[in-house]
Structure 1
Amino acid sequence: MSNDTLPSLAPSQPAEPAKESKPASLWSDAWYDLRRNPVFLIGAAMLVLLVAISAFPGLFDTVGVDAKTCSLAQARKGITSEHWFGTDNLGCDVYSRVIWGARVSIIVGFVSAIVTALIGGALGLIGGFYGRWVDILLSRIAEIFFAIPSILGALLILAVIGRDNAGIGSVVLALSLLAWPMILRIMRAAVITAKHQDYVMAARALGAGPGRIMLRHILPNAVAPVIVVSTINLGAFIAAEAALSFLGVGIQSPQISWGLMIADARNRFLEAPLPLIFPALFLSLTILSVVMLGDAVRDALDPKLR
């Protein structure tokens, strides 16, 4: 027998172990999709710019005119080198007021969305997990608030508080008090679905307590729809603040708000349209950026679309 036909006795090279890939999760997949979604990138860029304006208005107010300094001699002027957006009916610089007015709208929107998510999310988590009389009680309380129209209820709350005491805190209170039941229902439905999953049953069999099960196992898997709705609600709260200020029960002078600017400029719109156009434009762009952001987050976190 020739050497060519003999089997090779040389030790074979060990196969390289396959590299373990990091297991994919809903959040990692969602972030992967969001980074490649132009709608999310455009909406996020617009919102980041508006948040930066509200956080550091002095950096963007470069015209050198105080937003609260007005001169009737300069009333209803057009665009000039000194007044980039013109002046309003009282001779105040519209550009400076638009920049400083962003702070109120952004603060009201973000704080209302956060407070609503915390209250509704916590109550929905408790009611959906424990069920029975706890769930029935929380659901009946939520239905009482659901029966109150949002704008009408906010008008009533702010009317009771009074115009002299109206401010950012009162507007946030009025909006949050009427919006948390929606978050409760969404969180409750997600918790009821999640608590019957196998990983929750396994955690309960291993002796995990109710608090650990809710916070470590159910909450991370049920919070996604709450984040989506809270993102969309952010735009609704900003629009609601502008509407309440426009109606005269929200933010009051000398504070600056886009809704208040629109209300002050509406009577002389034909003579001087710029004091109304620019705050309305910034308000629309803010709501548009939030809607774009919310749509992108919803598509990324919705498992049915994957």
Structure 2
Amino acid sequence: MSEALVAVEAAGAGTSAPAAPGARQFWRRLRAQRAALVAAAVVALLVLVALAAPLLTALEGQDPTTYHPSLIDSARGGVPIGSFGGFSADHWLGVEPQTGRDMFARLVYGAQVSLGVALAATVVQVALGVAVGVASALGNRWVDQLLSRATDIIVAMPLMIMSLALLAIVPSSFPRPVLVTLVIGLIAWGNIAKIVRAQALSLKGLDYVSAARLSGWGAWRVARRELLPGLAAPVITYAALLVPTNISVEAALSFLGVGVKPPTPSWGQMLTDADVWYQAAPQYLLLPAGALFVTVLALTVLGDGVRTALDPRAASRLRVGTGRKDAGARDFGAKGSSAKGSGAEGSGPTTKEASA
């Protein structure tokens, strides 16, 4: 998270923040990055699978909670019967050890929980961070000091320890996906608040914002009409980088046993149950771990691509560097050709003199 914070602050450094590019320019820059396009396709596929989980499981004819005791070998401690964890036409990815629940159904429904919690927590973090950051930048000195110190306290809180403490004392009757979303969102908004405050302070000193304030506009109108459009690029960039972080946090909390509880499927919760089966049934560990790895990697690459596409100076730096390289190559080629030409001209008289 600290690397993302440095990257966003570096993109927004300077006395005046560059305007966010238009939609066409943004898509043109994003299409120029093949890795970002592949990552976007992977993320879109994962979201589609999560949304279509009921349809996909109905097509398979299974559900994520039904036990199939006839598909496990009780004499061997509950290992699935058959090769590759019980792969078959009825169970596309096999079944869980000891329970016999369908792995494909639990994976696709687990995508709903993991992606849904991460996206909802990101929305909460962005909403709180933008509100606190803009209020701190537009408020007077006392308001700025109060909100800044509160933000420092939030940033200093260890996310995992606070989440473990809060999730352990909340009654189990409270819906766990909603609780995990609120805990992550209410604890981890400090960094984005700092980014928004720094960017809003730089925008606050620009002429058009000063003119709007001197004309009698209220703080809310100034923020809505003048500041928020200029804050779109850094906020979207940091939000794109927050999603994979929140997926990892949700998986870690579920792995530690304080996140999503069974029978609700979650990739982290599946990993918790798989730690004793990695030798007897390795697919039970590899499938959710592989899904987490691909999701986090795709979202990270996509977030980096969005950052580059929203930073108008990134493309110009690439163009300048390429132009210098091409210009150097052209100069080198021109010098080489001129040297050859001069050599040929110089050898002509020498040959004639020798023949004479």
**Structure 2 counterpart of 1:197, one-letter code:** L
Cα distance in structure 1, aligned partners of 2:223 and 2:94:
55
Q: Given the alignment, which residue of 11, 21, 25 partners 1:26? A: 21
- Aligned partner of 1:74 among 65, 71, 89: 71
Equivalent residue in structure 2 for 1:301, among 310, 313, 332: 310
Q: Tell me the equivalent position of 1:56.
A: 52
For residue 147 of structure 2, the aligned residue among 129, 138, 141 is 138
For structure 2, the 5+ residue unaligned runs are 1-18, 73-79, 317-356
Residue in 2 that maps onto 1:118 = 127
Distance 2:181 2:36 in 1: 27
Instruction: Give the CA deviation at 1:175.
Output: 0.5
> Which residue number in structure 1 is paired with residue 257 of structure 2?
248
Q: Which residue of 2 aligns with 1:92?
A: 101
Offset from partner CA, 1:185-236 (integer Å, 9 cap, x none): 0100110010111221232344433222111111110232111111111111
**How far apart, in 2, do the equivalents of 1:66 and 1:220 lie?**
45
How far 1:25 sits from its partner (Å)? 5.6
The residue number in structure 2 matching 1:83 is: 91
Contact kept? 2:129, 2:196, Cα under 8 Å: yes
Q: Percent identity?
A: 37
State the one-letter code of the partner of 1:235. P
SS in structure 2 at match of 1:223:
helix
Equivalences for residues 199-210 of structure 1 within 5 A: 199-210=208-219
The one-letter code sitting in structure 2 at the alignment partner of 1:262 is L
Aligned-partner Cα distance in 2 for 1:252–1:101? 12
Look up the match of 2:163.
Answer: 154
Shift of 1:116: 0.6
- TM-score if structure 1 supplies the norm length? 0.87
Work out the CA distance in 2 between the residues paired with 1:271 and 1:217: 60
Cα distance in 1 for partners of 2:250, 2:299 equals: 15
Mapped partners of 2:174, 2:215: distance in 1 = 54
Q: Which moved more, 1:295-304 or 1:204-213?
A: 204-213
Mapped partners of 1:228, 1:165: distance in 2: 33
Residues 215 and 288 of structure 1: CA distance in aligned 2, closer, same or farther (over 3 Å): same
Q: Highest Rg: 1 or 2?
A: 2
| Aligned equivalents of 1:111, 1:95: Cα separation in 2 | 24
**Contact kept in structure 1, 2:124 and 2:186, CA below 8 Å:** no
Whether the 8 Å contact between 1:83 and 1:94 is mirrored in structure 2 is yes
How does 1:2-13 map onto structure 2 within 5 Å? Answer: none
User: Secondary structure, in 3 states, of the residue corresponding to 2:188?
Assistant: helix
Matched, 1:180 2:175: no
Bigger fraction of residues in helix: 2
- The structural deviation recorded for 1:148 is 1.5
Partner of 1:288: 297
